[in-house]
Structure formats: structure tokens, C-alpha cells
Amino acid sequence: MDNVSKIKDRLSVVDVISGYLKLQKAGANFKASCPFHNEKTPSFFISPERQTWKCFGCSKGGSIFDFVMEMEGVEFPEALRILAAKAGIELEKFDSTIKDSKDRLYQICESSARFFEKQLSYSGAGRRAIEYLKSRGLQETTMAKFRLGFAPDTWDALSGYLRNSGFTEKEIVDAGVVVKRQPTTNNQQQGSTTGFVRA
């Protein structure tokens, strides 16, 4: 069993989130005031049956891993370490934390989506893009719901971000979020491994 499954086996969504938020029972579920947007009436719900959480105010939701990433402001490898410690599971080494490559590819796609979302919300160019989207009639809640992002005008920002987040170059290329720069000569075997371009 891979580490992600082991952790999900040992930690319930209620255990994890109750470590951060004050929960109230709501039928078979639990509710709380959402920590990710300002609200007076709780619209953050936890389903013990599905082992998921969802905020109906800001549309954020997901697994315990998504929660810890959002709450602690960290990427997947760090969330994995936090939850493994909580579950009492020993991870041997940072690079070998997730053997299951499918999980790894999923997390690269998720981290990429978050990267572009952050660019839209926090970069200067991204803020201008938000103004443009608003001029087209889109509201910020709609942008968040459909996870719209902004791609900065550089060719290596995403690959750098993903490598800093602990993913290897091979994994990043395998996930299909960046492609290797094609060689300019006709020697197809020796593509540059340092040159990434955004897909």
C-alpha cells in the first residue's frame, strides 16, 4: 500500500480538520466556519462518509491532503510529511515518499493548477488579468470555481516552481505539463534536458 493510502486509512477527515477548526455536528456531517473565506454562517462541510470536505461559499474542497496544503500554505510533499507524522507513519526519504506514480502525476497537475491560480491572484500581471476578466463579465467566485489561472510571460516559471516543490524533471515531463525543448539540430536523441517550455 502506498503512503497516501496508508495515511487515509489511519486518519479520518474529521480527525485532521478538527485539529484546525471548531466543528459542529450537522446531521451525518460536520460544519465549520470556512478558514479560506470570510463568513458569518458556516458553509464549510465535512462528510465522514465520503472522507471529503467542501465549502459552498468559496468552492474549495477535497481530501485531507488538499485541506492541509490549503491551510498550511504548502505543496503536496510537505502536506504528506505533516500527515504522515500525525498518522505515525515513517517516510523513509523525501524523494521516495510516494512510490505510486499515478498519485505523483495527479499531484503535479494539482500543483500546476495551483501555480496558475496563485499567479492570477497575487502577481501584478495576474491582477490586471482579473480586471480584464471582470470587464468580460466574470465574477471572482466564478474564476475560483472554474480554477482560472494566469500564465506568466516566461518559459520556465512552472517547471522551476514544480522542481522547487520536490518533483523531478522526469516526473514533470511525464505529467505532460511541460515539454522538453526540442533540439535545433537534427539529432533527435540529444534534446536539452535543462530547457523546458510551457505546454
DSSP 95-162: GGS---HHHHHHHHHHHHHHHHHHHHHHSHHHHHHHHHHHHTT--HHHHHHTT-----S-SSHHHHHH
Report the residue number, 142 or 168, with the smaller CB distance to Zn ion. 142
**The only residue of 12, 33, 52, 57 in contact with Zn ion, by rule CB under 5 A:** 57
Residue from 2, 14, 18, 37 in contact with Zn ion (CB under 5 A): 37
Cβ closest to Zn ion, residue 65 vs residue 161:
65
Residue 3 CB-half CA count within 13 A: 27
What is the Cα 142 distance to its own chain's centre?
19
Contact flag: residue 34 with Zn ion (CB under 5 A): yes
Residue 94 near residue 110, CB atoms below 8 Å: no
Pick 55 or 64: Cβ nearer Zn ion: 55
Q: How many CB atoms lie under 10 A from the CB of residue 184?
A: 7
Rounded CA-CA distance 101/196 in Å is 21
Please count the helices (runs of H) and the strands (runs of E) in the chain: 9, 7
* Least distance between Zn ion and beta carbon 31 (Å): 11
Pick one of 55, 64, 87, 172: the residue that binds Zn ion (CB under 5 A).
55
Residues in 64-123 that interact with Zn ion by CB under 5 A: none
Of the pair 72, 100, the CB lying nearest Zn ion is at: 72
- 17 lies in the site for Zn ion, by CB under 5 A: no
Closest-CA residue to 58 (of 41, 29, 36)? 36
Given 11, 46, 58, 158, the residue binding Zn ion (CB under 5 A): 58
Q: Does 62 bind Zn ion (CB under 5 A)?
A: no
The site for Zn ion (CB under 5 A) is made up of 34, 36-37, 55, 57-58
